[in-house]
């Protein structure tokens, strides 16, 4: 089981503070998250299924957003942190 933790902004769209989920890849995890919390659809991923530019996902503390992204294997992972970063000028 993976412990999935969400930031405050994502909780505004129905995500809990944290929950326990099972998934073999980040893409599979995000699909499950979007099914459980429909208001998160298109908040985390774009229409092509890729992570949105300002979404950061950490697998056991390592940011996979810009590297392997949704293809990241979650085999052996324990915690997933999903954050929506803030951009400004």
Q: Alpha-carbon distance 68 to 71, whole Å?
A: 6
* Contact predicate 20/46, CB 8 Å: no
The Cα–Cα gap between 59 and 4 comes to 9
CATH number for the segment(s) 2-84:
3.10.20.30
Whole-number Å distance between alpha carbons of 20 and 89: 36
Three-state secondary-structure class, residue 26: helix
CA dist 81 and 85 (Å) reads 12
* pTM score: 0.92
Q: What residue has token string 């957003």?
A: 65
What pLDDT digit, counting tens, does each position of 15-73 carry?
999 999 999 999 999 999 999 999 999 999 999 999 999 999 999 999 999 899 999 99
């Amino acid at each position: 089981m993976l412990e999935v933790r969400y930031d405050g902004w994502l909780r505004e769209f129905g995500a809990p503070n944290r929950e326990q989920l099972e998934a073999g890849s980040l893409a599979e995890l995000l699909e499950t998250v979007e099914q459980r919390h429909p208001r998160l659809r298109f908040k985390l991923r774009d229409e092509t299924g890729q992570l949105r530019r300002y979404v950061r996902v950490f697998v056991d503390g390592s940011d996979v957003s810009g590297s392997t992204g949704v293809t990241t294997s979650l085999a052996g992972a324990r915690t997933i942190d999903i954050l929506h970063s803030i951009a400004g000028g």
